[in-house]
Structure 1
Amino acid sequence: MSSRPSSRREELTRVALRLLEEEGPEAVSTRKVAHAYGASTMAVYSEFGSLDGLVVSVVEQGFRLLGAELEEVGASDDPVADLRRIAVAYLGFADARPDLYRVIYAVSPLAGRRQTGDQLLLGAAAFEVLHEAVRRAYRAGRLTRATPYSAAVEAWVSLHGLALARLSGYLDEMPPLEGGPLALLHTLLLGLGDAPERIAASLSPGG
């Protein structure tokens, strides 16, 4: 398969991503990716330097896909309703792409590699979508306690924990959450100073 170097890099990343999602993390190896691409293992090494480089590229692409899902929510006149939609999109991504979600957040290693240090910050752009919605909620006077950054971190930790609990199957064996999966968001908003009646309106499906 002949391609320009840049497109070859992108295609190898797509192949690795497809193997990850169709066969699981154990399917991503230099040999399998090269074979599925239709080239020798040298194609992987020449583009990425090592399997580690390919893993980083897959993680970057995974976060781009997550970020695109969150950005599709857009901004409305109700930033708290936007937070609900972001939460739904985030949990939906994790549910639809469980292996990719676990890999990008270093829950599962890919090809025996678990990202550390700066690699864990590759999701900053996706986090920024959530952070900006939280900042707008503060500017609108809906949230008054803590700071926008700490509130955004708390919101992400809540969503991340909920996503993992859902993926693990734990929640399937427990009584359903009162208020549904977004009950944690409701509690967080209360703690950050929003009014109960406004939260209820914003978190309703039509909010």
Structure 2
Amino acid sequence: MPRPRNRDYAELRRELVDAGGRLLAEEGPAALSTRRVAQEVGVSTTAVYSLFGDKAGLVREMFLAGFERLAEAFDAVPRTDDPVADLLALGGAYRASARANPHLYELMFGRPVPEFEPDGETGERIRPTFDALVAAVARCVDVGAVKGRPDDVAVQLNALAHGLSSLELRGALGGAEEAEGVWGRAFGAMVRGLG
């Protein structure tokens, strides 16, 4: 039998997080165990315990990984001289992140693992994704393209993005091109309405 290839911690962490996310998304919370996740990746449960402590730690890391990936998508959006285009681009980044990580999306915004409740520290670690949206809205408010308090508007836009992502991931918006059209029309209408 060949020896398993060596992985660095970041690679192994990602593989375990993704395996846990897939099990949760495809088979539900009952399928999510440290043993099963380890089997999916081809490592011993010791690897899971050494990286995450226990199943609760694994679930927490899955949750955080989803938001880390969303933050990376937001960070990749260039800041231009057009704050409205930048705000719409953040919506596109949100959609792209959800589509790239559907196995983590429900854990990020739902409660498929009832015993998992993010603590204060976890909440602080995910806060920058919302702060990025508030900052983008504030730029739109500053140039008069959007009216309202940036925090309030950000909540509304976040709710729209979440709703559209949830529908798209469940196949309710049709194919990718149809869904892209729905996203464009919905965000365009909302931003115009906020002006």
TM bucket normalised to smaller = 0.7 to 0.9
- Counterpart in the other structure of 1:38: 43
Q: Deviations over 1:151-180 (max 9, x none)?
A: 11111111111111111222339xx79x63
Q: Any residues of structure 2 matched to 1:78-157 within 5 Å, and which?
A: 78-106=82-110, 108-109=112-113, 113-116=115-118, 118=120, 119=122, 122-143=125-146, 145-157=147-159
Q: What TM-score do the two structures reach when normalised by structure 2?
A: 0.77
2:78 to 74, 81, 100: 74
Q: Residue 167 of structure 2 contacts residue 173 of structure 2 at CA under 8 Å; is this kept in 1? A: yes
Aligned-pair CA distance for 1:97: 2.2
Aligned-pair CA distance for 1:115: 3.5
Aligned-pair CA distance for 1:48: 2.5
Q: Distance in 2 between the 1:156 and 1:50 partners?
A: 32
Q: Distance in 2 between the 1:99 and 1:12 partners?
A: 17
- Counterpart in the other structure of 2:169: 167
Aligned-pair CA distance for 1:105: 1.8
Specify the SS of the correspondent of 2:77: coil
Aligned-pair CA distance for 1:122: 4.5
Unpaired runs of 5+ residues, structure 1, are: 194-207
Cα root mean square deviation, aligned? 3.1
The number of residues matched between the two structures is: 183
Q: Any residues of structure 2 matched to 1:161-200 within 5 Å, and which?
A: 161-172=163-174, 180-193=182-195
Percent of pairs identical after alignment?
Answer: 31
Question: Larger helix proportion, structure 1 or 2?
Answer: 2
Q: What TM-score do the two structures reach when normalised by structure 1?
A: 0.73
Note if 1:17 corresponds to 2:17.
yes
In structure 1, what residue type is equivalent to 2:165? A
Q: Residue 59 of structure 1 contacts residue 122 of structure 1 at CA under 8 Å; is this kept in 2? A: no
In structure 2, what residue type is equivalent to 1:164? S
Aligned-pair CA distance for 1:43: 3.4
- Counterpart in the other structure of 2:63: 59
Specify the SS of the correspondent of 1:53: helix
